[in-house]
A and B are shown apart, each in its own frame.
Chain A
Amino acid sequence: MSAFIDKNTRLVVQGITGRDGSFHAKQMMEYGTDLVAGVTPGKGGQKFEGKVPVFDSVHEAVIETAANTSVIYVRAAFAADAICEAADAGVDVIVCITEGVPVIDMAKALPFVREKGCRLIGPNCPGIIAPRDTVKVGILPATIVGPGAVGVVSRSGTLTYEVVFQLTSNGYGQSTCIGIGGDPLIGTNFIDTLEAFESDEDTKAVVLIGEIGGTDEQEAADYIKAKMSKPVVAFIAGQTAPEGKRMGHAGAIVSGAAGTAQEKIEAFEKAKVPVARIPSEITKLLGEAAPGLKV
């Protein structure tokens, strides 16, 4: 078992004939993901790598192949539309890798996705990898992961790779690694992911990697304190980031806080969640919080 994706994942790649889409479609297949379809409008009827059928729309792909999960590599200008198309076609999980999606487009797409009862991860995220099932949806490099019992959730991309690499090198395999994306408006937040890890029987402990901006980490800290039985270790990037990224008066009014690393670290410490000061401290804290996980 793992969170959001597993052996039953039947994947459709939106933008499969593009540069990034085709490269990563191949990588996902090689890792073991059941890639059942691709979509590129106008390229319907082609075969990707000589075997995966390409369709003009996600609707066709779902009808013909029973795809239940979609991953999106289309350009930013068309990404929100691609998300809505997948939701309307009836897939259960959508992972949007595309970065640079205008925020108002996401504000319109998110209620549409929820109305259809879909789980959206991203945009601007590296996706999900489940090493126990050897399934990946997204761009996380398969070479750095190993099967195990740690759930990893992060707002970042390459920092996730760094942390996962250190976990694997130190004998901590992972159940699922999820990058939820760094944009202001995203489909799945820390709490959604923590819920999934809490109910996933193969996840025994969680590493949460946050960063400055917003209050998602503070809310996650409250959730962990109230609802989580599994140990969580956190790291927050941006302790030395200068101020000035905040949005004038209105931003300060809405959040009631500036979203600094310090506030987030304090929130976790109040919730009794150990916070690593540097990435290489994470495995040490994990060893203390969840003894016996190391393989």
Chain B
Amino acid sequence: MGTIRVAGLGKAYKQYPTRWSRLAEWMLPFLPPRHKRHWVLRDVSFSVQPGEAVGIVGDNGAGKSTLLKLIAGTTQPTEGEVAVAGRVAALLELGMGFHPEFTGRQNAFMAAQLLGLQPGEIETLMPQIERFAEIGEYVDQPVRVYSSGMMVRLAFSVATARRPDVLIVDEALAVGDAYFQHKSLDRIRQLRDEGTTLLLVSHDRSAIHSICGRALLLDAGRAVKEGTPEEVMDYYNALVAERETRTVRQHALDGGKVQTVSGTGEATIADVALLDEHGARVQDVQVGRPVALLIDVQVREDLPELVVGYVIRDRLGQQVYGTNTHHLERPLERIAKGERIRLRFGFDANLGAGSYSVSVALHTGATHVTRNFEWRDLAMIFRVTAPPAGKFVGLAWLPPQLEIQR
């Protein structure tokens, strides 16, 4: 079975002052080393149990790909150790080293051989690989005429043709079209359910959410956060907003949820509430009823511009609906210090039954990345209850007008 254990893992690249220094170092091994070490990953420890799926998130250059390469065995660690049990299939970057002059079929054959499969086995798997890749006649065309999406389709089909014990996927899927992303995520989910251990690097929040039970945030080569995908992604979002000041705070709420608050504080969120049609504060609303989200903002500095926004998320943290005053074309300008602003976003609770959270953000510009005054995840939680009649499933309330002719 596939397990991954990583202990005190670190990777450094050697940097030599001149081209000749390496030669000098090789020739004169008794002298002190001439290279400097450039650490791209340090002190990373975690373990993954059979059948577990772990997502790895972080900025470009945070060390995600290096970590995957170390686990896949293409790169040797500088310190610490990696232990992987079981057959590993890794999709690192595009194309698995496809040769442009050969056909897709020939390349698939070679890629399968590199995964350690024997020719007879590949012959039997080939129809299945072709069927899953869905690239049609292109399978017998040279790979140089492929689009990057077709390359990923083929590479993914080969890597997952026989269920690996450990599957490592590095953002490769982002290249595929929506249809194939969906299809490959389904396949990954199926493999996971059959016991494949999964390590996934992705910038796609919903992919991490829907597949992984756990996530790891890498920042500047270090593991800074490990936990549920929701918690880690919230922390990561806040970190993105806080690139400069780094004042992210997380604290546990009642019921085990972790709230993330960040921001520079020129304006703060004073109150968030959900009101029913009579203006009373509620936590439970019935499907389809009119409600209003109330946000009180306390302004603490003179501000030329302020944007107030919110996102409603389902219990998995996936965004259901979000907007802000910028997108609603109701700009707030020239705000004086000390002002208190009340915003009332009225809408109908056309949501499926379940529990939802609201994240609120105060910032300038279209997104919270420009200047972030306050970002508050899980600012409030409410429940939507199903109507007494007309049971339905799903995230949205889309009551149909039914006509039947017979």
Decide if A and B are genuine partners. Answer: no
